[in-house]
Amino acid sequence: MPVVRKLFLGLLLFFPLGCAAVAVHSGDKPSPVAKEAPEDNLQADHIVAPYLVALLEERKLKTRNIADYENVNSALKDIVRFTTPAGYSLRTRLQNNGIPVAQALSLSRHEQIKSRLLEAARWAYSPRTREQALLGLAALKQTKHLNYFKEALLDKDISVQFAAVEALQIFGGSYAVSMLLNTADSGWSPLIRVYAAQAVWRMGEERGKTKIRSLLRDPNWLVRAMAAKTIGELGKAQDANLLLSRIGPEKDHKFVLAEACIGALKLLGKKSSRPRRPKRRQPKTSAKAPPPSSVYELEPLVVTAPRLKIQIVDVRIDNNLVQILNEIMQNPPPEGFDPVLEELSSLQTPLGIALKIRYTDISVLLAEGLAGTRNFSLIRKLEEAARQSLPWVRASILLALGYEPGRRDLFIFEEALKDKIIGVRFGAVDALSHIRSVSARNLLIKAAQYDASLALRVYAAQALWQQGDTSGREVMLRLISHQDWVIRGMCVYYLGEMGGEEEFNQIAYRLRSETNDFVKAEACLALLKLSKG
């Protein structure tokens, strides 16, 4: 055991539970290879428990108003202009303290945390506190907690009901399936009914599949969109025709139309017999891969690029996605609030927030549906859109082009990196992070070192480290003590995703003096992740 490790564990035994243990700072010089993470999370639980208990309060689970940062010297004013799916995930995370808190609670097994969760899940006055507590309790998977989820399903607050469905899906088992089936059949909220039905299907119950298929013709367009999305993710190859048959009837509902197209692409990929390309080996200096995404991550904002598994795409899919692209290239989103989205807009869990974004910004769906196309004429159309559309469209289209197999010409991304609009530059960096070539890496290095936005530098740096270039790690270690809490929070988050023992010690050392609640939450999450390995 390294000397640093022995000393660190000795300190943990010395400090009482109520105090945050202090890790010995092992220096800022990055090692050439990320070290292995600690074997268990005992020491992390002792460090983070007091912080997580304090963070599980309404005033600390706050959502930041974007308008408050328009004229403030903070990187958040840049991040709120990131409009690719990854950009939305990042900005959503930084606007909501509850996201890292919920993720950390799901990993902690400390008795002090369990007690606080039990109290908050039933008696918390704040719906937001109660939502996070329900998700945390679900990860414990104890049968005695099922009544808490049942009570939450009957709550008058739609956000608490949604959290209860999420929690039961995490919990699993026959009792959870029974409660979810009853909700899918008799719940008063269309949103909760469709979400409960998809949860049942994900848990392996065929009645969930039957219910979802019937919801493809529901009067509520959001229900139909979510049903199409679920079929695309969970259905079998033969279900592709079911979604293709919905293209015609959904011509006037672009979100449902896009979900039907994307779902059909995913199912056609299951039908394809084309062998997968072998994965490229990462350099020996690469960081360890991030752990698999948990139920607390923002999956609705993950680009799956289903075209990469298909050789020939049904022409109806391409034609309709291009039609949607043509409609939005020069036209801003329509003003006014769609009443169908009223329930979705009230959700505060990570998944609920992500779904709200997915069904209010059509470019998110276009990025997923068009990513990885091999159609030459469609590629030319995308390049035109990446240069001439409105900024919020350009970023997502650049991302879609970044998935193009075998792309060698990077001029369009190099050009975008010089754009004065921060959202367009972010779209270029996001695209380059998916291209494995020396030229793409060189552009990422340039962005990580010289871009005017520190937030974009950090994002480019983590992309470099993901690709095996430790210069990205060095950038984040230099910025982890930056005066802007947004930059500190980003660095801690990414170091927690990809780091090892040295990053564990760095983050634990800084947690003691951290003053910002969001960075504290990210540090707690990072320590728990790193100690789990």
pLDDT tens per residue, the chain (533 residues)?
443 443 343 433 333 333 333 333 333 333 333 344 344 557 899 999 999 999 988 777 777 776 666 657 789 999 999 999 999 999 989 988 888 988 898 888 888 888 888 888 877 667 888 888 898 899 889 999 999 999 999 999 999 999 999 999 999 999 999 999 999 999 899 999 999 999 999 999 999 999 999 999 999 999 999 999 999 999 999 999 999 999 999 999 999 999 999 999 999 998 764 544 444 434 333 445 444 334 345 678 989 999 999 989 999 999 999 999 999 987 777 766 788 899 998 888 888 889 999 999 999 999 999 999 999 999 999 999 999 999 989 999 999 999 999 899 999 999 999 999 999 999 999 999 999 999 999 999 999 999 999 999 999 999 999 999 999 999 999 999 999 999 999 999 999 999 999 999 999 999 999 999 999 999 999 999 999 76
Instruction: Please spell the DSSP secondary structure of 176-213, one letter per residue.
Output: HHHHHHHHHHH-S-HHHHHHHHHHHHHTT-HHHHHHHH
Q: What is d(CA 186, CA 188) in angstroms, rounded to the nearest whole number?
A: 6
Tell me if residue 336 falls in helix, strand or coil.
coil
Neighbour-count burial of 259, counting CB atoms closer than 10 A to its CB (0-12 exposed, 13-18 middle, 19+ buried): buried
- pTM here? 0.85
Find all residues with CB under 8 Å of 390, minimum gap 6, and list them.
328, 329, 330, 331, 332
Q: What is d(CA 359, CA 221) in angstroms, rounded to the nearest whole number?
A: 10
Instruction: Please spell the DSSP secondary structure of 77-120, one letter per residue.
Output: HHHTT--SHHHHHHHHHHHBTHHHHHHHHHH---HHHHHHHHHH
Phi, psi of 293, rounded to the nearest 5 degrees? -65, 135
Q: What is d(CA 383, CA 361) in angstroms, rounded to the nearest whole number?
A: 20
Q: What is d(CA 275, CA 527) in angstroms, rounded to the nearest whole number?
A: 39
What tokens does 143 get? Answer: 């049968």
What amino acid occupies position 248? Answer: G
Q: What is d(CA 316, CA 337) in angstroms, rounded to the nearest whole number?
A: 30
Count how many Cα atoms sit within 13 Å of the Cα of residue 285 in the half-sphere of its side chain.
12
Q: What is the DSSP letter of 126?
A: S
What tokens does 150 get? Answer: 């049942």
What tokens does 532 get? Answer: 């789990």
Phi, psi of 48, rounded to the nearest 5 degrees? -90, -20
